[in-house]
Amino acid sequence: MGILSKLPLESWIAIMITLMVCLTRLSMAAGQAFYVLAILLSIIYIWKHKHDLYVPSYVKKYSKSLIVMLLLLLPSAVLTNNISVGLPEFINVWLWRIPVFFIIALCIRDKKTLFTMLAIFFVDFGIDNLVAFYQYYSGMAVRGWGFGSSVLTIAGIMVMLVPIFCVILLDKEFPTYVKVSALWALGCVGFGMYGNQSRGSWLFNMILIPIVSLPYLIKRFVYVLAVLAALGGVIWGFSTQPQYVARFESITNTTTDGSNLGRFEVWTSSINMFKDHPVTGVGIGQWRTKYEESYRLPSENQHLYHAHNNFIQLISEVGILGLLGVLIFYGTIIIDNFVTWFKKRDPYSLCAMIAVVSYVFIFGQVEYTLDNSSGMRIMYFMLATMLQLRDN
């Protein structure tokens, strides 16, 4: 108890944020509680340091593009049919999930603390994947989902984190204990992918792992052998299971696969929405109501909740204005980190870029990831942590 009472405010904020990111998928209520505590503590921290608060340059840059995005999204919340739905959803999706980024960026600067936050979260995510494997292997579920939410939530986080694990393992900048936690998580993800059976996670990780590893593989041939051996082992393991071969082959099935057909049908409906409401869309939070009322095709009998694609969902729900805002915000982050990485070849810019590209732009092609509360907070957690490590 004496040790806890002596912890600085920065450490308490780090503890609350780490608990939030580790528990947000297991218990939404617990995750929200620690999130609120982190926000309150960060407000106190910022007030105490109001005269000497260090604001990183990337915070200033991203804040400007964030304001532009919010201004371009706002018409879709207040000018469409139902402001009582649009405004709360605007606050929930586009405002409530991003404070984790600013909390870390403004309040946590100690490098060891940041590395420890990453290591703890990686261990937690490894356990999350083992739970997904157990759920499938024990017959509890047809597809494992881990701690909570849908089967595609954990799959999207896999696609976000697996390439980052590879960078951490291949780059000398990260301390041993972070590498060990990343290796643990990566090994567990192998089991998680087996139990989760997301075709998207299989396909995207098979593509992303060699791409992000390439700058390191060029330098050291032993890394080439290690990555090829790991990929070969995973591919061989899946190829020996007929049911997995059949599921992987179904990715290109556009005639009888219900999952694929449902996506094509809902994409068609969403494009029709956009044609009728091109500027501001049907309104934030109003996609499903409009879909069921007027746009669902008779052949789509799954009554899907969203368009299963970030950008098709956006173009139909917030129109050209909202989509432009989102592209400006995330485009600023990606371009800034790519330019920095190209100049310095630092792993932190690379990991920050991977987090956004993988979750929003890559897995976002098969799932509406922008609406997933836990996934978005994890993405902002990874983004801010990596940028703070770079800034330090």
pLDDT tens string 306-327: 889 999 999 999 999 999 999 9
Does residue 278 lie within any of the structural domains? no
pLDDT value, residue 200? 85
Does residue 335 lie within any of the structural domains? yes
Does residue 25 lie within any of the structural domains? yes
Instruction: Indicate the number of domains in the chain.
Output: 1
Does residue 16 lie within any of the structural domains? yes
Q: Please tell me which residue, 261 or 317, carries the higher pLDDT value.
A: 317
Does residue 19 lie within any of the structural domains? yes
pLDDT digits (tens, 9 = 90+) for 225-234: 666 666 666 6
Does residue 14 lie within any of the structural domains? yes
Q: Please tell me which residue, 116 or 2, carries the higher pLDDT value.
A: 116
Sequence-distant (≥ 6) Cβ neighbours of residue 67 within 8 angstroms: none
Cα→Cα distances 146→38, 131, 186, 291, 381, Å: 25, 5, 15, 30, 20
Tokens, residue 153: 């939530």
pLDDT of residue 329 exceeding 80, the answer is yes
pLDDT digits (tens, 9 = 90+) for 195-220: 998 888 888 988 898 888 887 876 66
pLDDT of residue 245 exceeding 70, the answer is no
Does residue 300 lie within any of the structural domains? no
Enclosing domain of residue 97 = 2-252+318-391
3-state class of 348 per DSSP?
A: helix
Does residue 302 lie within any of the structural domains? no
pLDDT value, residue 237? 62
Q: For the chain, give the mean pLDDT.
A: 89
pLDDT digits (tens, 9 = 90+) for 262-312: 678 899 999 999 999 999 999 999 999 999 998 988 888 778 788 899 999
The single-letter DSSP state of residue 278 is T
**Percentage, residues of the chain above pLDDT 90:** 72
Tokens, residue 173: 């900048």
